[in-house]
Amino acid sequence: MSFDLVLFGGTGDLAWRKLMPALFQAFRHGSLPEGGRILGVGRDDLSDDAYRALIQSRFDHVDLAKRPSPEEFARFAALLHFVRMDLSQPADYTRLAAALNTRQADTLVMYLATAPALFTTVCEQIAAVGLNQPRTRIVLEKPLGHDLASNRAINAAVCRVLDERQVFRIDHYLGKPSVQNLFALRFGNALFEPLWRREHIANIQITIAEDLGVEKRGAFYDSTGALRDMVQNHALQLLCAIGMEPPINAHADAIRDEKLKVLRSLKAWTPQSLAQDVIRGQYTAGTLGGAAVPGYRDEPGVHPQTATETFVALRTEIANWRWAGVPFYLRTGKRLAGRDARIVVNFRATPHAIFNAPNGAVNRLVIHLQPKDGLELHLLAQGADTRRNHQAKVQTLSPVQLDLDFDTRFGAERVGAYERLLLDVIDGRLNLFVRSDEQEEAWRWIGPILDAWQADPNGPRPYAAGSWGPSASSAMIARDGYCWSEEC
C-alpha cells in the first residue's frame, strides 16, 4: 500500500523530536508500508538533500537506541522530501497538490504539527486544491482549540471538507503501551473487572508529573496552561479508560461511545466544588537534582506577571451506578519532584479485620505509564514465623507487592506511542483517536473551571520547584480521609 505523509511543520520541534524518530523506528522494524513518501512542509528554503541533512543532524539529540546508523539513515532518507510553503498563501497549496499528484498514492496523510490557529486555514486550502479526497486522512495535534467555542469552530471547519472517519485527533497517551495494557487488563482478563466498581474501590488517583519546566515553549505554554495542555486531553482520556463500561467489541466507535458516556457522567461543577476541589499552582524557584532552577515567571517567553497555572489537582466523580461516590483525583504539573505518570487504584479495606495490618495499608493496583511501564499489585501477607508468635492473639501482616515490568517482559517487542499511532493513521484505524463529540464534552466540562479562574483575583498558588505542588493539593484529598500515593 503506497502512502504520502505530508508533515506540516516539518522542521518544527515535534517533527524532529517525536515524529521522525517514530517513523524511523517503524521503518527499522519493517512495519512502515513499502512505497511510502514523507514530505516535510515548512517556510525554510530547503532542497530535499538539505532537509535530509537537517533531520539527520536532529537525530543526534534523540535517545541513543532510536538513532540510526549512517547506513540505516541513508535508506530512510530516500523517503524524505521537502516542500517550501507559506501556509497562509493559497498559491503554495497549488504547488503542494502538484507534488502529490505526480503519483496517486493509495493513502494521503496530512499531519498538522502546527499552531492550532492554522488548522482551519489548512483544511480550507487543501479542499480548495482538491486534496480532500476519499483517500485523504488528516491528523490534528493538541490543543484543538482554546475553549469549547474554538474547538467547535475547528471541528466544523474540518468536517466541512472531510468526513469524521477521515479525521484523526491524536492524543499520544492513548498510544502508550501501558495504556494499551490498561484496556487489556480490564477487558482481556476475568480477574479485575468484577472488582472494578464502587463496592470494592475506595478511590482512584491519576498523576502526570513532570520534573521539567517549560523548556523552549514558554510563549506557547503561557497562553495554554496545565489545564488545557494536560487535563482536557491526557488526564481525562486516562479517566475514561479507567471508568468506562466494557465496549460491545473492539471497534473504534464502540470504544469511543463508552468513553463519551464517562465524560457525560462527570459530576457537574458548583461554586462550592470549584472552590474546594480544584487547586491550581505555579512553580517558583527551587532545587531539582541538586541544581537550582528558576521560577516559572523567570522562564524565557513567559510574562513576568503571568497567572498561568503550571499545576492542577482536582477531585471529581463519575455519577453512574458503577462509580457513584468514588472520588477520582487528577493531578498534573511541571517542575515537580520527579517525572512520574501513574494510575493508582486504592481498594477498600476488608469488611472485617481478623489480622493486624500497618496503619492505612490497603490493597492497591499501580499502573505505571512513564518512565516505568508496568503494573504493581500491593497486597498484605504473613511474613513472620507464626510459631514464634503463638502467644499473640492477633497475627500481624506485612505489605508485599507483585511487580510486572513490561519493558523487561516484552523488550524489543514494544512499540512507541507515536510509532503505533502513525501506523494506525496510515492503516485507517481510529480506535486510539478522539472523536469530535468526546473532545467537545471534555472542553464543556473544564469550561466552568476556566471561567472561575478568569474571575479569581488571587491567581495560582505558589509551589517550590522540586516539590509535589501546593500543600492545598494534599489538603483537598485529606478532606476525604485519603492521601496521595507518595505521601501514604
DSSP assignment of 441-486, as one string? HHHHHHHHHHHHHHT-TT-PEEEETTBSS-HHHHHHHHTTT---TT
Q: Residue type for 194, please?
A: P
- Alpha-carbon dihedral sign for residues 378, 379, 385, 389: positive
Other Cβ atoms less than 10 A from the Cβ of 56: the count is 18
Calpha distance 18→27 (Å, rounded): 14
Indicate the angle between helix axes 48-58 and 70-77, nearest 10 degrees.
140
Calpha distance 317→41 (Å, rounded): 44
Q: Which of 120, 127, 128 is CA-nearest to residue 151?
A: 120
Query: What angle (nearest 5°) sits at the alpha carbon of residue 279, between those of residues 275 and 284?
Result: 135
Q: Please, is 407 exposed, middle or buried when counting C-beta atoms within 10 Å of its C-beta (0-12, 13-18, 19+)?
A: middle
Q: Please, is 39 exposed, middle or buried when counting C-beta atoms within 10 Å of its C-beta (0-12, 13-18, 19+)?
A: buried
Q: Is 234 a catalytic residue?
A: yes
Which of the residues 234, 303, 378, 390 is marked catalytic?
Answer: 234
Those residues with Cβ within 8 angstroms of residue 412's Cβ, 6 or more apart along the chain or in another chain: none
Q: What are phi and psi of 77, to 5 degrees?
A: -65, -25
Q: Give catalytic residue positions.
A: 234
